Structure 1
Amino acid sequence: MQRFLIQKSWIFLLPLLVLAGCKKNNQNQSNQQPPAELPVETVKQGDATVAREYAASIEGVSNVEIRPQITGYLSKIFVDEGDYVRAGQPLFKIEDQIFKEQLKSAQAALISAQANLSTSKIDLERKKELFRNKMVSDIQVKEAEAAYNAARGAVSQSVSAIESAKINLNFSVIKAPLSGYIGRFNYRLGSLLSPTNQDPLTLLSDIHQVYAYFSMSENDFSNFQKQGTGSSIDEILKNTAPVSLQLSSGENYGEKGNIDAVEGQFNKTTGSITMRAKFNNANNLLRTGNTGKIIIEQYYSNVILFPIASTRTIQDKIFVYTIDKGKAAQLPIEVEGKSGNNYIVSGGIKAGQQYITEGFDRLQPGAPVVAQKKAQQKK
């Protein structure tokens, strides 16, 4: 009976053993799948142009603070904020009654000084005549001459006071020193104005041309100088190709500009240097305070060009895939910039090496890989 039970148990276990053996064979077969066939290309070199962008702030070629030259109450405003004004056009008026009275007083003082001068002259001539007749002493003549000279000085002083009063009266009307656009008013009618006021009345901006200020890193500036033509920075700027301006909206400004100035030293905090580009602004599209980007095209000769589509970005690092001894290899590369659909590569891969062009999204480093035949790649 016991022998019969053992035989019966083997009958039930036999199918399980066969099933386990089949499963193991299937796993071995799956682990021995053929390597993936992926398309490959050869790393090439060529010439490229890179458009580098730099944040820029816009200012008019002249930004003038309008300030009073005298103290008084603001009595009239002839323009409005944002108006375009021409040089010499009245902008503001300070209450001028006190300055008119000062002018009248100075004119009256001049009349009195002139009368005193006439009297002093008559007295001097009379004493000179008496001195010739030996009726007065030499000291009396000299005293008369001194009085006459003092009267002449008083007349000159009065004339100067009149001119000063006229200047102050003219300063009561504040005029535009140049043509441009009026900014925001910092004072209103009735405000007490003084040359010592902390804020100006307003800002007048001449924007027929504008400056775009931007900063360039030390490395970029070094490349800028190397690619320029000339033995000095002035010659390099003179021979530099025009630059473009991209507006904050993303549109390109219609006029090209020229870099015409470089700051004398680098900023120790940021490690950058400020540069300036000038743009014509005939349509007054640009205003002081606008922002944008300066676009400078830099030319690179005989550099490694790598298709952007054949790279993978992982945690701000860029990788490419190559085949090393029949296995996939992931290589980090150093990128100098972009040129069209290609990266300009400065390190990590060399010209002549082969790389996998596509199909590496789920490819793990070390996985078996073979290069796909050219005929298959063309299909």
Structure 2
Amino acid sequence: MNKKILGLRYSGFKNARFNYLSKLLVITVIGTAFFSCSEGRGKNKKNAEVLEVPVFTLMPKDIEVPQTYVCDLQAIQFVEVRSKLEGFVEEIFVDEGQEVKKGQPLFQLSSAEYNELVNSATAKLMQARAEEKAATLEMERLKVLVDKKIYSSSELELAQSRKEMAQSAIMEAQSMLKNAQVGLSYTTVKAPFDGIVDRIPYKTGSLVKSGDLLTNITDISEIFAYYRITENEYLEYMRGELDKDADSEQMNEQVRETLKDEQEEISLILSDGVEYPYKGKLETMEADFEQGTGSIALRVRFPNPDGLIKHGASGKVQMTNELKDVFLIPQKSTFEIQEYNYVYLVDKENKVNVRSFRPLRRHGLFYVAQDFNTNDKVVLEGIQLLKDEATVKPNPIGEEEVYHSLNLPL
């Protein structure tokens, strides 16, 4: 009985031990499999973090960047034609928008009063001349008598004085006549130069006073474009001009004049966005900077043979600034934080590093910058997936593909 009981107990203990070992083996196998899977996933995850990104190598470029400025367009001559006296407009010889020549009559004002002044001054002049002639005859007569000692010399001196008074009266009458003639000439208003007649506010029969505006005359055979630049731009321009002058000192006069004729060709963009077909040349600038804005005005002369541009029009002058040894950074390669722009540079160990820079200006879809080094490698796209010091797999992109939108010579 006891043996059976002991046998059963031993058999139960044996079965329990088997079950325990079986469970332990299953747990070990599952744990090993789980560890293997976890390790595989870790390796895959590590491999997935090494991103392949397009990069391109920076090389210094010499580029020409167009710079535009808002400008005011003015005729080379613009004159207000005003009345110099009071009177009625008797006749208008021209129409608004008509081309006129220098000296051509424009208006006729009432002239009867000035005609009378001319007649009066003419009569006084004739009287003065007659008195001078009589005084001359009297002096000659007395001279003969004095020579014969019939009259004393004092009589001759008195006659000489009367002649001089008559001569001064002639001069006074001539001055009065000239003034009257000038006043009469003002009644016929003439064109001061070749140009175009503007609006005519007074019509025939209107009373005008001295100083009233009759019309404007504009000469638009050529056009002045005035625009303003900052002090920094002024300094940059003047330093460039000084460098050109220094380089041209060794040239002969003919070469210098040729270069002078060819330089500073400036384009004009009209208000509708169309480029004006004729180029202009920078002529001069103001003497002082404007207080408050710190800017200075420059003047460009444009030909206007077709009369397309009118006085008072608006537009933009477009200059070409040459920038040497600069780097072009695509805008899609950058991100901005406050006042700085940033890019990712790839080092020799294929790690990315954030680099800040301040662009000089924009040029198409690129930033123009100087604070980079030749052969710096910039991440072109995918910057939103990167972190500083991350390892990447660079995929080089050629210059032609990067700069194709600018048509740059490579």
TM range (shorter): 0.7 to 0.9
**Contact map agreement 2:50 2:393 (CA 8 A) in 1:** no
Aligned in 2, Cα 1:216/1:238: closer, same or farther, shift over 3 Å? farther
Aligned in 2, Cα 1:315/1:160: closer, same or farther, shift over 3 Å? same
CA distance in 2, matches of 1:215, 1:131: 82
Q: Paired residue for 2:231?
A: 218
Residues 206-245 of structure 1 correspond to what in structure 2 (within 5 A)?
206-228=219-241, 229-231=244-246, 240-245=263-268
Residue 132 of structure 2 aligns with an amino acid whose one-letter code is L
Name the stretch that deviates more: 293-302 or 316-325.
316-325
Name the stretch that deviates more: 199-208 or 277-286.
199-208
Q: Paired residue for 2:299?
A: 276
Q: Paired residue for 1:293?
A: 316
Q: Paired residue for 1:139?
A: 154
Offset, 1:46 = 1.7
Q: Paired residue for 1:191?
A: 207
Q: Which runs of 5+ in 2 are unaligned?
A: 1-37, 249-255, 402-410
CA distance in 2, matches of 1:238, 1:224: 18
Q: Paired residue for 2:141?
A: 126
Q: Paired residue for 2:120?
A: 105
Question: Does 1:352 find its partner at 2:368?
Answer: no
CA distance in 2, matches of 1:280, 1:223: 27
Residue 393 of structure 2 aligns with an amino acid whose one-letter code is A
**In angstroms, what is the RMSD of aligned CA positions?**
3.2
The secondary structure found in structure 2 opposite 1:88 is coil
What percentage of residue pairs aligned between the two structures are identical?
Answer: 28
Q: Paired residue for 2:76?
A: 61
CA distance in 2, matches of 1:230, 1:305: 29
Offset, 1:320 = 2.5
CA distance in 2, matches of 1:152, 1:373: 105
**Contact map agreement 1:44 1:306 (CA 8 A) in 2:** no
Offset, 1:59 = 1.3
CA distance in 2, matches of 1:148, 1:141: 11
**Contact map agreement 1:50 1:337 (CA 8 A) in 2:** no
Offset, 1:239 = 6.3
Q: Paired residue for 1:159?
A: 174
Aligned in 2, Cα 1:102/1:317: closer, same or farther, shift over 3 Å? same
Residues 29-68 of structure 1 correspond to what in structure 2 (within 5 A)?
34-68=49-83
Equivalent residue in structure 1 for 2:393, among 368, 371, 374 = 371
Q: How does the TM-score come out when normalised to structure 2?
A: 0.73
Q: Paired residue for 1:342?
A: 366
CA distance in 1, matches of 2:285, 2:126: 59
CA distance in 2, matches of 1:179, 1:201: 17
**Contact map agreement 1:74 1:193 (CA 8 A) in 2:** no
Residues 279-307 of structure 1: CA deviation (Å, up to 9, x unaligned) = 11110111221111111112222221222
CA distance in 2, matches of 1:113, 1:142: 20
**Contact map agreement 1:57 1:214 (CA 8 A) in 2:** yes
CA distance in 2, matches of 1:314, 1:94: 71
Offset, 1:186 = 5.3
CA distance in 1, matches of 2:214, 2:339: 50
Offset, 1:81 = 2.9
Question: Does 1:256 find its partner at 2:272?
Answer: no
Residues 245-278 of structure 1: CA deviation (Å, up to 9, x unaligned) = 1111111110011111122233342222221111
Residue 47 of structure 1 aligns with an amino acid whose one-letter code is D
Offset, 1:113 = 2.1
Aligned length: 345
Residues 161-184 of structure 1: CA deviation (Å, up to 9, x unaligned) = 223222221221111111112233
Tell me which structure has the larger Cα radius of gyration.
Answer: 2
Q: How does the TM-score come out when normalised to structure 1?
A: 0.79
The secondary structure found in structure 2 opposite 1:39 is strand
**Contact map agreement 2:350 2:394 (CA 8 A) in 1:** no
Q: Paired residue for 2:195?
A: 180
The secondary structure found in structure 2 opposite 1:220 is helix
More helix by share: 2
